[in-house]
């Protein structure tokens, strides 16, 4: 180890020694797909027990319902699991935010439900890296920091939401509320690369559903009286594709609706994902979408309803964020770990936190890979390594590091 004070050394060793693997095994045995409300209740209980080791006020917050559009174009409300929220020393001089998510992309009907060892030290399992391992790392670091003499210098909120993998629409208000005014935030997504590289800048992301209402008519007798919703949706999909440019990816992903072959279809739902790299591109894209929809509605004489929006704002690397990355890199160097960062095409809660003006490093979790697939793996040694990295970073933030 490099330049560590005795307090730092003790805290780092304590963090590395926490029983993180046992926690990962126990937590990964509970299916917590974003839509499995029963499983989310169970994992929330387990996490509540574990986080009760920290001081402060711990509660499970009721999730906001989220409106979505179904395949018939109807607005429906989706229920989410509760979000864990811990508040510690809200009056302390340095205020921080720690976030993670308890949900995974693997629902109850998915074949991937169990952990197994791929080789010595490499664990395969649902959520082991994304991000049950990350939650264990966060807790280990915080427990160790709590036993250090610097603990009184920091206060913090911990938010572990239940809907990150489906866009955090239900937990977005809680994330924004707890991010406000914080000195820095750490989020425990797995490292961007198995070597521990962090994700730097991220694009934003928006999901839109456009419901097209046409008019049905007989396909042979009076097709001219019909207004073909499917064609209008297809026209709109092609126009969306033409929005693509440097700094903006566009993916029209699905058209639902239609009718029997002898009927002019009166309903279609088009779904599109867009990822702008900067807030300016996001704003321009919003305007372009409005204009396109007006044009297509007029050209096809149909009515359109737009739902959804840019739920994840772009996360450019600001000077403040760069300062926090440098702090993490220095902590890594003092622990003998080489930490770099690179831009990522993915999005996460770090986007929403950054949009509140709070510097955030959102890949403080484990090293591993193949996330969102049945090959997801965790490099077990990285639990202790990343807990040490987090503990040291938090101590230095507590000490007033800029």
Across the strands, what pairs with 154?
94
* Minimum separation from the CB atom of position 362 to Zn ion (A): 9
Stretch that binds Zn ion, among 10-18, 85-93, 129-137, 334-342 (CB under 5 A): 129-137
How many angstroms separate the most distant Cα atoms in the chain? 87
Q: Is 102 in the site for Zn ion (CB under 5 A)?
A: no
> Within 156-215, which residues bind Zn ion (CB under 5 A)?
189
Q: Are 162 and 170 in contact (CB under 8 A)?
A: yes
User: According to the binding rule CB under 5 A, does residue 146 interact with Zn ion?
Assistant: no
User: Is residue 394 close enough to count as binding Zn ion by CB under 5 A?
Assistant: no
The footprint of Zn ion on this chain (CB under 5 A) covers a number of residues equal to 3
Contact between 131 and Zn ion per CB under 5 A: yes
Least separation in angstroms between residue 348's CB and Zn ion is: 6
Q: Which is nearer to Zn ion, 40 or 264 (CB)?
A: 40
Can you say whether the dihedral through the CA atoms of 69, 70, 74, 76 is positive or negative?
negative
Report if residue 376 touches Zn ion, rule: CB under 5 A. no
Which token pair is 66? 């989220």
The interface region with Zn ion, picked from 25-33, 42-50, 126-134, 338-346 by CB under 5 A, is 126-134
Q: Min. distance of Cβ 275 from Zn ion in angstroms? A: 17
Among 18, 130, 256, 385, contact with Zn ion (rule: CB under 5 A): 130
Which of the stretches 55-63, 87-95, 122-130, 241-249 binds Zn ion when contact is defined by CB under 5 A?
Answer: 122-130
Q: Which position's Cβ is nearest Zn ion?
A: 130
Question: Which of residues 257 and 313 has its CB atom nearest to Zn ion in the complex?
Answer: 313
Q: Shortest gap between Cβ of 189 and Zn ion (angstroms)?
A: 5
**Of 16 and 168, CB closest to Zn ion:** 168
Q: How far is the CB of 181 from Zn ion (least distance, A)?
A: 25
Of residues 189 and 235, the one with the C-beta less far from Zn ion: 189
The first and second tokens of residue 42, run together, are 């169970």
Smaller CB distance to Zn ion: residue 12 or 186?
Answer: 186
Q: For Zn ion, which is the closer residue by CB, 82 or 101?
A: 101
Binding site for Zn ion (CB under 5 A): 130-131, 189
């Amino acid at each position: 180890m490099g330049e560590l004070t005795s307090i730092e050394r003790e805290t780092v060793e304590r963090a590395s020694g926490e029983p993180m693997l046992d926690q990962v095994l126990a937590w990964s045995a509970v299916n917590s797909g974003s839509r499995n409300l029963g499983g989310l209740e169970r994992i929330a209980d387990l996490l509540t027990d574990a986080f009760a080791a920290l001081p402060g006020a711990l509660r499970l917050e009721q999730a906001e319902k989220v409106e979505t559009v179904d395949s018939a174009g109807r607005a429906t409300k989706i229920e989410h699991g509760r979000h864990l929220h811990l508040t510690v020393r809200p009056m302390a001089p340095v205020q921080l935010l720690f976030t993670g998510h308890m949900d995974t992309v693997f629902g109850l009907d998915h074949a991937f439900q169990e952990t197994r060892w791929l080789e010595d030290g490499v664990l395969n399992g649902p959520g082991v890296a994304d991000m049950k391992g990350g939650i264990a790392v966060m807790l280990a670091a915080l427990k160790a920091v709590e036993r250090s003499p610097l603990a009184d210098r920091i206060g913090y909120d911990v938010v572990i939401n239940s809907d990150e993998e489906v866009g955090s629409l239900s937990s977005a208000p809680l994330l924004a509320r707890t991010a406000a005014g914080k000195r820095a935030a750490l989020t425990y997504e797995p490292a961007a690369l198995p070597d521990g590289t962090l994700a730097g800048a991220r694009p934003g992301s928006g999901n839109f559903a456009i419901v097209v209402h046409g008019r049905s008519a007989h396909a042979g007798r009076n097709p001219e009286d019909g207004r073909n919703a499917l064609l209008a949706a297809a026209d709109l999909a092609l126009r969306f594709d033409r929005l693509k440019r440097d700094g903006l990816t566009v993916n029209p992903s699905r058209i639902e609706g239609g009718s029997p072959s002898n009927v002019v279809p009166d309903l279609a739902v088009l779904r599109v994902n867009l990822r702008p790299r900067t807030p300016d591109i996001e704003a321009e894209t919003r305007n372009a979408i409005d204009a396109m929809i007006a044009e297509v509605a007029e050209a096809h004489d149909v009515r359109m309803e737009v739902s959804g929006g840019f739920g994840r704002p772009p996360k450019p690397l600001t000077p403040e964020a760069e300062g926090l990355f440098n702090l993490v890199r220095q902590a890594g160097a003092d622990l003998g770990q080489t930490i770099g960062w690179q831009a990522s095409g993915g999005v996460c809660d770090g986007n929403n936190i950054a949009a509140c003006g709070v510097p955030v490093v959102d890949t403080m979790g484990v090293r591993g890979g193949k996330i969102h697939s049945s090959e997801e793996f965790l490099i077990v040694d990285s639990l202790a390594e990343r807990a040490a990295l987090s503990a040291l970073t938090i101590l230095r933030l507590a000490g007033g590091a800029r």
